[in-house]
Structure 1
Amino acid sequence: MRSALTLKLLTSSEYGSIAAAATFGLPEVLGGERNWDYRYCWVRDSAFTLYSLSRLGYYDEAEAFVHFLMERAVETGESGLQIMYRMDGGEKMPEVDLSHLSGYAGSRPVRIGNAAYQQRQMDIYGEFLDALYISTKARGKPAYAVWTKISRIVDWLSRNWHLPDRGIWESRGEPKEYLSSRLMCWVALDRALKIAEFHSLPADILTWRGERDKIQKTIIEEFWNHEVGAFTQFKGSSTLDAVVLLMPLVKFINPRDPMWTSTLKAVRKHLVRDCLVKRYINTDENDDGLEGEEGAFTICSFWYVEALARTGYVADARLLFEKLHTYGNHLGLFSEELSETGDHLGNFPQALTHLSLISAAIWLDRSLNGNKADPGYFEFKMMEDPDGIY
């Protein structure tokens, strides 16, 4: 409930937009340059937020945000969306260094604005279509005018899903074909198909289904690294990325699939320290263009809890979930990242962290109480995994 309240307070009642955080300039590395302005509405963050609010029954907020996005989509070009907007819907957020400020704990430069708004991030279509799918399940068939614009965006995506981009983490390195983007493009086409078929809406079903299946094939064949025993960060890489934890959460892969259980073990080996999870490890292969080693990403830590629960390691998930709660402040709030000593790093409070906490809590509750109302639920007690995740 504390996390739901936080998400609500980050939501604009006037515009329906949802801020990623309430602050700017708080460092991800003390004394370093990873200092960003998060007081804007990211399509990715907001769509994930809607997912959590909808699971709690707050559909008015979901509808208001979808309306906010549709207004933006109508105003932009064929591809439909940019990755982020000002809270009032403005499209430009020029990044400016405030050189007269010394920064928190000497962390410079202090920036306002965010140049990432100019990036291409193909994952936003998956988050947006998933949010729309959830909204239509609660509120029924979308208006025809809305669907006409959505179908044009999906048509564009079906032709362009392979484009290299900056990935879900907004790398300031070279564009690549990231797993995060490929996975969420699959989600976009999958959810668009579900909406069209369930509500009998006009769509190029055969093309969408064909492209969705091509994406699935490319992920299995081009992002799996046999030596690592896992799906890796970008096409042809050997680097792990915690975004892989989303694969069973978005129903791309069965959590019992051997490729998934092997990936989960690789994540634990390379990215997990106790209950804290790094989003990736900076190497020459995946240089993100910035100096300094960041802390553990709190959202990834809660993704890990949910992935464990979905895979059947419910007792482990519960233990780590309770451990993570000890890192919250006296109000139960979380920042973007955590240091190994428990210091809060990055902007605060962060919507992504609190929405992932809600999602993990709901799934863990279902797993512990044997609630099979969700079609994705499995009777985990019957699982046999002699090796175990540990």
Structure 2
Amino acid sequence: MSDYPLIAEHGLIGDLQTAALVATDGTIDWFCAPRFDAPSVFGALLDHQRGGYCRIRPAADAFTTRQLYFPDTAVLVTRFLTEAGVGEVIDFMPICPGRTPADQHRIVRLVRCVRGRLDFVFDIAPRFDYGREPHETHLADHGVVFHGKQTAMTVHLVHHGDETGPASARIDADGDVHGDVLLTAGEVRGLVLETGVAGPPRRYDVAEALRLFDETVDFWESWLAGSTYTGRWREAVDRSAITLKLMTYAPTGGLVAAPTAGLPEQIGGERNWDYRYTWVRDASFSVYSLLGLGFTEEAADLGRWLRDRVEERTESNGSGPLNIMYRVDGSSDLSEEVLDHWEGYRGSAPVRIGNGASGQLQLDIFGEALDSIYFADQRGVGIGHRGWLGVRAVLDWVADNWDQPEEGIWETRGGRQDFTYGRLMCWVALDRGIRLATAHGRPAPLDRWHRERDAIYEQIMDRGWSPKRQAFRQHYDTDVLDSSLLRMPTVGFISPSDPMWASTIRAMDAELVTDSLVYRYDPAASPDGLRGSEGTFSLCTFAYVTALARGGELDKARVTFEKMLTYANHLGLFAEEVGLTGEQLGNFPQAFTHLALIDAALALDEQLALHPTAAATRHTLLTPRG
């Protein structure tokens, strides 16, 4: 399985409509076009033989690589250190709204010799439609065209002066192109990969490619300058903000959970999902994170995306007036299929595209949506009359339907249960609806909403509490703990100083927390309908930090946060989970993790400002658990 780089050995580039992963060896092994959720062009990350890739690296067998982002941008630099010299590949996707058709996207790969003399080799091997669509290949003076029945990609060569394509370029039996270019210190060449275009290739002068570089750098620097964050963890927060922006589909404002599909939660296991869609939950949480950093435009776009879904109020498969997830354009066809011809990342099959959980009933999404709409309203991003009609219809549905079994936040496939977190967020939905109606004098059946909200509260306190565990539990028919309930004090359901909450945190410390890392729940104690295990859930670890900070345990919260930052990859990116040996697992990078990092940093900064004398204590580093 050495043909697969570690999940963490990647950087992300994108143009706010799609994205690509670049491995530390200079290989683009994941890229879908023209959207995040479109079929793949390069997919070697999920099948190194049949997936397709674009690789640029030194011809020498021995080299060391380093990877970094150009400061404050999404421009990725992969450096190669060899005995003959130092070179680098600079990867980025130009962001040119209104200047190119929506189905055309460019990846610019500049190759530069920094010191000495380096021979770079390149291999371009697309596999359209997850490797199911064959293509023809045509070489030309200024590049190459790959043309399938439905898909096309033109590769333009970046020349200097009157140069033409490298004489060494050749097409192999699979229609892939291979070649090399020899550079001395200071020389720059490269490739521009353009999807949605079937040729002919044209000459890109080095100066033109460098202008695209400057424009892309300017875009990201200008965007990040809008952040109001000045706290202690600026580097991590800024990188998380850029990563969230990279996963935003600009035409609608929808945020994908991750730009990848099929990356496993357990190597060799079956917990492999397609995350290239917009979850109501993730979008709702992101409104908090973006507003907390001062990005009001992005938060407003996400809020509009949410309100559009609320206004549609389309009931689907008994899941209520909101689906749990949508495609980035707001459509809801996410039929799940298995790519049997792909082996999966390091043999982790099946590889799924689409998502069969889209028809599940997950009651928590209504609370998360209403909480974000309320939060945005408090900060001047209000809702109009149509939006309020949609909110009222959703809340009327919640008032009628909150007291029923559901699949829960973790999208388990082991049957419906009375999940405590789902009930909690139904309470939030009604509570925020009441507040919105009261604040703006909007027409609403307030007596009924009050009655149902209070009934949910009483039920959670009665049935969601486990006398045996002295803690709030995952669902009413178990004593299993669930870290989703870390949000109970955050949403205002219970005081952080309440003895019931303090007891719950102690129970979680003993069972779900291992040296600061937090599990979602114990799959062995709470069967979820799937084989295998999983790592600690990075979202939950950052939620744990937030809960500790708001509960006054600042020393423990700060050390936990700092330790969690050490699990980021070399670029500051996080996947969904952390495995037993500290490796990144699951789809990468994951929006949920990065928005939770932002929330934890904001909560810590706020509490440390209120309690400036709080200092970390030594025992938090030495406690085996918790």
TM range (shorter): over 0.9
Q: Deviations over 1:331-389 (max 9, x none)?
A: 111000001211000000101101111111011111111179xxxxxx999xxxxxx99
Deviation at 1:219, TM superposition (A): 0.5
Moved more, 86-95 or 70-79: 70-79
Corresponding residue pairs, total: 377
Pick aligned residue for 2:555 from 311, 315, 327: 315
In the aligned structure 1, how far is the partner of 2:520 from the partner of 2:279?
Answer: 18
1:81 aligns with 2:318: no
The 3-state SS of whatever aligns with 2:370 is: helix
The match for 1:385 is none
Kindly state the Cα deviation for residue 141 of structure 1 after the two structures are TM-superposed: 4.2
- How far does residue 297 in structure 1 lie from its aligned partner after superposition? 0.2
Question: What is the CA deviation profile of residues 124-145 of structure 1, one whole-angstrom value per residue up to 9, with x for unaligned ones?
Answer: 1011001101111122542111
Q: How many angstroms does 1:75 deviate by?
A: 3.0
Match of residue 113 from structure 1? 354
**Counterpart selection for 2:260 from 9, 23, 29:** 23
Kindly indicate whether the alpha-carbon contact (under 8 Å) linking 2:437 and 2:444 is maintained by their aligned counterparts in 1.
yes
- Equivalent residue runs for 1:233-272 within 5 Å: 233-272=474-513
Post-superposition offset of 1:10: 0.9
Larger strand fraction of residues: 2
Greater alpha carbon shift after TM alignment, 135-144 vs 295-304 = 135-144
The residue aligned with 2:290 is 53
Give 1:171's aligned residue: 412
When Rg is computed on C-alpha atoms for both structures, the one with the higher figure is 2
- Contact kept? 1:223, 1:236, Cα under 8 Å: no
Q: Map of 1:338-349 to 2, 5 A cutoff? A: 338-349=578-589
Partner of 2:440 in structure 1? 199
Instruction: Tell me, yes or no, if structure 1 residue 7 matches structure 2 residue 244.
Output: yes
Structure 1 counterpart of 2:88: none
The one of 128, 135, 150 aligned to 2:369: 128
Question: Contact 2:361–2:406 (CA<8 Å) still a contact in 1?
Answer: yes
TM-score between both structures, scaled by the size of structure 2: 0.59
User: Which residue pairs with 1:335 in the alignment?
Assistant: 575
The amino acid that maps onto 1:327 is Y
Q: Which runs of 5+ in 1 are unaligned?
A: 373-378, 382-387
Matches within 5 A, 1:353-364: 353-364=593-604
Regions of 4+ moved over 4 Å: none
* Contact 1:24-1:111 within 8 A present in 2 as well: yes
Q: Provide the alpha-carbon RMSD of the alignment.
A: 1.8
Cα contact 1:223–1:237 (8 A) shared by 2: no
Cα deviations across residues 270-320 of structure 1 (Å, max 9, x unaligned)?
000001100000135x21100011000000001111111111110010001
Please give the alpha-carbon distance, in whole angstroms, between the structure 2 residues aligned to 1:80 and 1:193. 19
> Does structure 2 conserve the Cα–Cα contact (< 8 Å) formed by 1:41 and 1:86?
yes
2:531 is matched with 291
Q: Distance in 1 between matches of 2:437 and 2:243?
A: 34
Which letter does structure 2 place at the counterpart of 1:48?
Answer: F
CA contact 1:80–1:153 (8 Å) conserved in 2: yes
1:352 and 2:589 are equivalent in the alignment: no
Which amino acid in the other structure matches residue 27 of structure 1? Answer: P
- Secondary structure (helix, strand or coil) at the match of 1:25 reads strand
Q: Report the AA paired with residue 368 of structure 1.
A: L
**Letter in structure 1 aligned against 2:586:** G
Q: Secondary structure at the match of 1:319?
A: helix
How far off its partner does 1:74 sit? 3.1
CA distance, structure 2, for counterparts of residue 283 and residue 264 of structure 1 = 21
Q: Which residue is equivalent to 2:61?
A: none
CA distance in structure 1 between the aligned counterparts of 2:354 and 2:542, rounded to whole angstroms: 28
Q: Contact conserved, 2:376 with 2:382, CA < 8 A, in 1? A: no
* 1:300 has 2:540 as partner: yes
- Report if aligned partners of 2:371, 2:428 keep a CA contact under 8 Å in 1: yes
1:280 aligns with 2:517: no
1:154 aligns with 2:395: yes
Amino acid corresponding to residue 296 of structure 1 in structure 2 = T
Cα distance in 2 for residues equivalent to 1:294 and 1:340: 9
SS of aligned partner of 1:36: strand
**In structure 1, C-alpha distance between the alignment counterparts of 2:288 and 2:382, rounded to whole Å:** 18
The structure in which a higher percent of residues are helix is 1
Q: Which residue of 1 aligns with 2:472?
A: 231
Distance 1:380 1:190, change over 3 A: farther
C-alpha distance 99-283 of structure 1, shift in aligned 2 (>3 A): same
SS in 2 for 1:26: strand
Determine if contact 1:141/1:199 at 8 Å carries over to the other structure: no
Q: Could you say which residue in structure 1 is the equivalent of 2:207? A: none
Give identity over the alignment, percent: 48
Q: Which runs of 5+ in 2 are unaligned?
A: 1-237, 616-622
1:189 to 430, 433, 436: 430
Are 2:518 and 2:541, in contact at CA under 8 Å, matched by a contact in 1?
A: yes
* Whole-angstrom CA distance in 2 between matches of 1:8 and 1:314: 30
